[in-house]
Amino acid sequence: MNWDAISAVSETVSSIAVIISLIYLAQQIRHSNKLSQSQTRTDLRQQACAEVESLIQHPDIWLMFWKEELTDLERSRLHSFMLRALRFREYIWRQHKLGLLDKDTFETYILVVTQQLSSKRTRDWWNSYKLSGTFDP
């Protein structure tokens, strides 16, 4: 066998090895993306459950949405709840924009905003607070 033939075989073998490596890397990247998306959905479920749990433990927060007059303490608690709830939805929006959350899941989690802003009090809160620069435009 001459050196030209050996060189040609070596180049062919190395080309095949590179192609196999690229296929392996592509599979690893797809797997990593699926894991990242799964972790994002797990985080969202945990945060959503924590939000629901806070309403279960403190049902008066939900009632504050429609209560005629609020004390300073109630106003503070409702403000904190709304701030946390809408910050969570902002996180969901960011994850969706990064491609870590599919459209259907995004829309399901964002739908809660309509419930949270269903009272005049919470809509007024949002209208005054959204201009503060706390949330992403």
Domain annotation covers residue 15: no
Domain annotation covers residue 18: no
Domain annotation covers residue 81: yes
Crossing angle (nearest 10°) for helices 72-97 and 120-129: 70
Domain annotation covers residue 64: yes
* Residue 129 near residue 122, CB atoms below 8 Å: no
**pLDDT 10s digit of each residue in the chain, 137 long?**
688 888 888 899 999 999 999 999 999 999 998 888 888 888 888 988 998 898 899 989 989 988 989 999 999 999 999 999 998 999 999 989 988 888 998 998 888 888 888 889 999 989 888 878 777 77
Domain annotation covers residue 29: no
* Residue 66 near residue 119, CB atoms below 8 Å: yes
Domain annotation covers residue 108: yes
Give CA–CA dist 66/68, Å, rounded: 6
Domain annotation covers residue 13: no
Domain annotation covers residue 77: yes
How many domains is the chain built from?
Answer: 1
Residue-range definition of the domain harbouring residue 95? 36-132
- pTM value is 0.71
